[in-house]
Amino acid sequence: MNGLGKVMAKAIVLGSLMVGLVLAPQAASANEGGVESLRGTNALTRNSGTPDFKKWNEDQKPIKRDYLQQPPLIPHSVEQYRINLRQNRCLSCHGWDTYKQSGATKVSLTHFRDRYGSEMANISPGRYFCTQCHVPQRNAQPLVENTFKPVDALR
């Protein structure tokens, strides 16, 4: 290495050390901000106990949506439902040929379009596994304060 290369190497090392010295106190103070995890004051090495089991909500009317394009929430338990490549129990009530008899909401037309927007005769494979977007509800209190307000158009 020539003289100029050695000077550059030393300058880079010295600059890196200076940046580290400037940023280290900021990183340390971030840990002292009174931030508390959802575990409370329990240390990570200590078991926080088993949470209470929350029951699925009983069957109910459709749940209001809180924002545009929100997938509808499932207003009943789906605990024993089979949704796999061979069967989808949701369609036994929500399919276009069965929804009237069961009184359920029918599957949206959007579920019959593929990723390119082409209409399909059956539900698109990308929409077949309902619980990827639609979720059942449990009777549980929020873990953190929720200040979310629905959009005005849906109130």
Residues annotated within a binding site for heme c: 76, 90, 93-94, 111, 130, 133-134
Q: What is the spatial distance between Cα 150 and Cα 128, in angstroms, rounded to a whole number?
A: 28
The annotated binding site is made up of 76, 90, 93-94, 111, 130, 133-134
- ∠105-110-115 over CA atoms, to 5°? 145
> Do 136 and 78 meet the contact criterion of CB atoms below 8 Å apart?
yes
Beta bridge partners of 74: 136
Q: What is the spatial distance between Cα 45 and Cα 16, in angstroms, rounded to a whole number?
A: 34
Radius of gyration of the chain (CA): 27
